[in-house]
C-alpha cells in the first residue's frame, strides 16, 4: 500500500515536471540549476499555474468560466483531502501542505486568472491587481519553497520576490503584445492602445520594468545558495530578453514575438554558472 502511494505521488510529480519542460524551456532550464531538493516544489507550482493559465488563454471554444470554477473547486478539494486524481492538483496540494503556502496567495492567483475572462483593457488599479495575482504571488510561492519554513527569511525576501515576478510578467506583456491583442483582444498596459503604441509609452514601460529588475536583484543575492543560481539564471534570461526588446523597434514588437534562441540560452546558463562559481553574482 505504502509503495503504491509513493508511486502515485511520483507519477503526479513527473506530470508537473513534464508540463514545465514542454511549455517553457527557459524555466525548466532554470529549475534544473536549482538544488534538487527544490525541484519537486517548483515543478508542482509551475504545473498548477500553467494549467490555470491554459484555461483562460487557450480554450476559447469552451465554457472557460465553468472550467476555471471547477479548477478552483478541485484545487481546494485536493488541499482539504490531501489527494486528487488530477495529477497536477495532487502535486500542487503536496507543495501547499509541505511549505505552508497560504490560501491568500492561491486566491489572488486564481482571481487574476478570472480577470482574463472579464477584462480586455486594464486601468492602473486593475493592472496592479492583475500583476500581483498573476506573477508576484507565484514568486512568493517559490520563496516559500526556498526558505523551507523560515518565516523571518520569507518576510525578508517578499518584496524583491514580488519585484522579480512583476518584471517577468511585464516583459511577457511586451513580448506578447501582438498575440494578446489579436488572439485574445487584450492590452494589459494602462492607457495604451495597440493601434497607436508610441515610443514614449514603450520607454516609460521599459523604465518601470528596469526599476523592478533593480529591486529584484538584491533579493537574488539574499537567497539561500542552493536556490540562488537557478533564480539568477531565470533573471539573466529575462534581462537578456528585455534588453533585446528595448533594442527592437515598436513596429517589430507589434509584428512578432521577440525570442532568445536556444543556443543563446545555453550561453547564458554557462556564463551564469561561471559567475556563480566565482561568487560574482
Looking at residue 75, its pLDDT comes to 98
Q: Are 115 and 56 in contact (CB under 8 A)?
A: no
Residue 88: Cβ-neighbour burial (10 angstroms; 0-12, 13-18, 19+): buried
Q: Are 232 and 272 in contact (CB under 8 A)?
A: yes
CATH topology for 2-277 is Farnesyl Diphosphate Synthase (1.10.600)
Looking at residue 25, its pLDDT comes to 82
- What Cα–Cα distance (Å) separates residue 196 from each residue in 175, 190, 202, 248? 17, 13, 11, 17
Residues 160, 211: Cα–Cα separation, whole Å: 11
Grid coordinates of 269: 546558463
Looking at residue 271, its pLDDT comes to 62
Looking at residue 30, its pLDDT comes to 84
> HSE of 149 in the Cβ direction (CA atoms, 13 Å)?
2
- What Cα–Cα distance (Å) separates residue 42 from each residue in 31, 64, 140, 233? 7, 26, 11, 15
Q: What is the pLDDT of residues 19-67, one digit of tens each?
A: 999 998 888 888 988 999 999 999 999 999 999 999 999 998 999 999 9
Grid coordinates of 167: 518584471
Residues of the chain with pLDDT under 50: 278
Helix intervals (H) in the chain: 2-23, 25-32, 36-58, 64-81, 87-99, 103-118, 124-131, 137-147, 151-175, 177-184, 199-222, 225-246, 250-255, 262-277
Q: 25-32 vs 2-23: helix axis angle to the nearest 10?
A: 130
Q: Backbone phi, then psi, for 121, in 5-degree steps?
A: -130, 140
Looking at residue 275, its pLDDT comes to 59
- Read off the pTM: 0.91
DSSP tag of 132: I
Grid coordinates of 53: 493559465
Grid coordinates of 212: 523592478
Amino acid at each position: 500500500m505504502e509503495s503504491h502511494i509513493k508511486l502515485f505521488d511520483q507519477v503526479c510529480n513527473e506530470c508537473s515536471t513534464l508540463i514545465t519542460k514542454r511549455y517553457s524551456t527557459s524555466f525548466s532550464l532554470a529549475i534544473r540549476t536549482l538544488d534538487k531538493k527544490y525541484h519537486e516544489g517548483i515543478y508542482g507550482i509551475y504545473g498548477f499555474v500553467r494549467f490555470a493559465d491554459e484555461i483562460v488563454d487557450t480554450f476559447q471554444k469552451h465554457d472557460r468560466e465553468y472550467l476555471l470554477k471547477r479548477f478552483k473547486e478541485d484545487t481546494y478539494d485536493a488541499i482539504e483531502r490531501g489527494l486528487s486524481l488530477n495529477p497536477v492538483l495532487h502535486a500542487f496540494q503536496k507543495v501547499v501542505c509541505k511549505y505552508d503556502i497560504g490560501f491568500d496567495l492561491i486566491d489572488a492567483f486564481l482571481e487574476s486568472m478570472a480577470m482574463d475572462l472579464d477584462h480586455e483593457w486594464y486601468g492602473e488599479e486593475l493592472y496592479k491587481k492583475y500583476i500581483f495575482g498573476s506573477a508576484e504571488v507565484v514568486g512568493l510561492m517559490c520563496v516559500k519553497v526556498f526558505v523551507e519554513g523560515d518565516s523571518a527569511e520569507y518576510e525578508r525576501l517578499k518584496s524583491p520576490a514580488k519585484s522579480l515576478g512583476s518584471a517577468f510578467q511585464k516583459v511577457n506583456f511586451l513580448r506578447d503584445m501582438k498575440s494578446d491583442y489579436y488572439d485574445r483582444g487584450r492590452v494589459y498596459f494602462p492607457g495604451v492602445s495597440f493601434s497607436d503604441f508610441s515610443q514614449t509609452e514603450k520607454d516609460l514601460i521599459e523604465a518601470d520594468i528596469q526599476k523592478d529588475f533593480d529591486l529584484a536583484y538584491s533579493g537574488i543575492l539574499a537567497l539561500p545558495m542552493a536556490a540562488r543560481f537557478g533564480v539568477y539564471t531565470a533573471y539573466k534570461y529575462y534581462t537578456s530578453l528585455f534588453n533585446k526588446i528595448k533594442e527592437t523597434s515598436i513596429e517589430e514588437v507589434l509584428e512578432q514575438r521577440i525570442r532568445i534562441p536556444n543556443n543563446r540560452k545555453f550561453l547564458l546558463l554557462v556564463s551564469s554558472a561561471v559567475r556563480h562559481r566565482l561568487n560574482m553574482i
